[in-house]
Amino acid sequence: MNWTHPLCDSDGDKLREECGIFGVINAADAAAATALGLHALQHRGQEAVGITSFDGKEFFSRRGLGHVAENFSGSEAIAELPGFMAAGHVRYSTTGGAGLRNVQPLFADLASGGFAVAHNGNISNALTLRSELVGRGAIFQSTSDTEVIIHLVATSRYPTMVDRLVDALRLVEGAYSLIVMTPEGMIACRDPLGIRPLVMGRMGPEGNGAIVFASETVALDVIGGEFTREVEPGELIRVGLDGQIESLRPFGRHSPRPCIFEHVYFSRPDSVFAGRLVYAARKAIGEQLAIESPCDVDLVVPVPDSGVPAALGFAQQSGIPFELGIIRSHYVGRTFIQPSDSARQSGVRRKHNANRGLVEGKRIVLIDDSIVRGTTSLKIVEMMREAGASEVHFRVASPPTAHCCYYGVDTPERSKLLAARMDVEPMREFIKADSLAFISIDGLYRAVGSEARNSASPQFCDACFTGAYPTSLTDLSAQAGDAAQLTFPGHKAA
Ligand code: AMP
């Protein structure tokens, strides 16, 4: 079908974002801790970063394009952000959505006072809500889906901030982990299915036990904090300026559906997600892959960095030596979404290089976490052959990615997904491998510590592999009916 997702620009590249969020309250050096925490979450978004702080009277914000270190390493930057409460955000989006006005935390002066919000996830009915709000006179400042939350809170008639936020979130579909700051304190909350992660912790003794929220546990590690627990799916936690913590469950109880791709690719391997160390899950995925699709070769070679833990698991399970047959340059940015295929391909070549002496004359199996468009796999298979490998097999630590994610993981539009266009054998031909196999969905579930997938009520969100979207996708259905009215200003309709 020839459609452009309503959150895509005319080239089909998305304006949705991948993000990491961090917040701390009642800490002497809240902005500095936030900068450190965001640094540990940099892998969740490298294009822009922002921090907002509150000193009991005023809010202060600083945002910039680029990495955390480029924007927040100097003491002057932190000095601009005084106060005992701060929240920050790192984001990745494609060119069209990357302007400063979309950099979070978003901030607004509401009738009740300042309101800052940092959001990880994607609101899948943002365009519908936005067009309703615009129809009622709302003036939007950004093209970020998150801004609808601010307008919904601003226009809610409930008396308290928590009630207004809950009122707003009841209208919102999709995935959201949020950190909100108001003059009354901090609110952290996770959507009813808990699609995107959010954890709670405390700063160590020197931080006086200040309360911290972060996308991943690794952000707690870097500030010397302690993990308390996950913010539970559908839970809203309010922390007052007096340190009082209140947990609410305004959305009732639902079966959680955390994103399984956090385990496969997105989270850092040293984070704990959904009760399991991500590194251990990735290794177990590799072991399971070796059991399901063994390969008679001389070497197991990871596609670095994302394929490394799975390749270790594959090697240990199969008894085949693990070798770094590809070396990755750490000084090249993301190759995944670039404006054009040729930019992407040269990006892959600059990023990975064959360790020729190792692979020459060897039969190898390459392990990567996923195949999306097939750009990386094709280039790497070719690179291994040019380096003299006698056989090049490919094993993938996730099932075929055949569907778009509408919940905050960047995937290109569906027509660009290799697995949406072809079965495994044509994919093998496309990437020019001697054999190709993907882990089964049940194998993936078991490897991440779950039972086999319960198809009536899956334990994870695995929509990118199965197409089983756990929420309604109002904007998509609406787009089919009335595309023109649902397109962000300045972006072409399909
Ligand atoms: P592709 O070249 O389009 O097939 O992309 C596959 C490569 O992109 C793999 O090496 C993955 O590690 C990586 N990858 C998969 N999903 C994502 C994502 N959401 N963001 C960035 N990189 C990704």
Residue-wise pLDDT for 384-408, tens only, equals: 999 999 999 999 999 999 999 999 9
**Could you tell me if the CB of 262 is within 6 A of ligand 1?**
no
- Of the residues 8, 19, 405, 461, only one is catalytic, namely 19
**What is d(CA 465, CA 442) in angstroms, rounded to the nearest whole number?**
12
Backbone angles phi, psi at 469, to 5 degrees: -75, 125
Q: What is the mean pLDDT of the chain?
A: 90
409 lines ligand 1 (CB under 6 A): yes
Shared domain for 420 and 479, answered yes or no, is: yes
**Distance, CA 372 to ligand 1 centroid (Å)?**
6
Is residue 10, in this structure, part of any structural domain at all?
A: no
Q: Is the pLDDT of residue 40 over 80?
A: yes
Average pLDDT over residues 480-490: 43
* pLDDT at res. 11: 35
If asked whether residues 286 and 211 sit together in one domain, one would say no
Decide whether any atom of ligand 1 lies within 6 Å of the 410 Cβ.
yes
SS (H, E, C) 129-195: HHHHHHHCCCCCCCCCCCHHHHHHHHHCCCCCHHHHHHHHHHCCCEEEEEEEEECCEEEEEECCCCC
Residue 474 has pLDDT above 60, yes or no: yes
Over the stretch 208-252, which tens digit does the pLDDT of each residue have? Answer: 889 999 999 999 999 999 999 999 999 999 999 999 999 999 998
Residue 19 is a catalytic residue: yes
pLDDT at 334: 55
Report the interhelical angle of 375-386 vs 341-351 (nearest 10°): 50
| Burial environment of residue 163 by CB neighbours within 10 A (0 to 12, 13 to 18, 19 or more) | middle
Does 45 fall in a domain?
yes
Q: Where among 257, 272, 302 does a domain terminate?
A: 257
Number of domain units in the chain: 2
Q: Is the pLDDT of residue 284 over 80?
A: yes
Question: What band does 99 get if pLDDT is binned at 50, 70 and 90?
Answer: confident
- How confident is the model over 301-360, as pLDDT tens digits? 999 999 999 999 999 999 999 999 999 998 876 555 454 566 555 666 778 999 999 999
Q: Are 219 and 355 contained in the same domain?
A: no
Question: What's the mean pLDDT in 164-188?
Answer: 98
Does some domain include residue 446? Answer: yes
Instruction: Please name the residue ranges forming H helices in 243-355.
Output: 261, 278-292, 308-318, 341-351
**pLDDT over 60 at 361, yes or no:** yes
Q: What is the CATH number of the domain that holds 481?
A: 3.40.50.2020
Domain around 471: 280-493
pLDDT tens column, 122-134: 999 999 999 999 9
Same domain, 165 and 229: yes
The percent of residues in the chain predicted with pLDDT above 90, rounded, is 82
78 and 205 assigned to the same domain: yes
Per-residue tokens: 87 = 């929240």
232 with 368, same domain: the answer is: no
Same domain flag for 359 and 238 = no
Per-residue pLDDT at 74: 83
The CB density around residue 249, as the number of other CB atoms within 10 Å, is 12
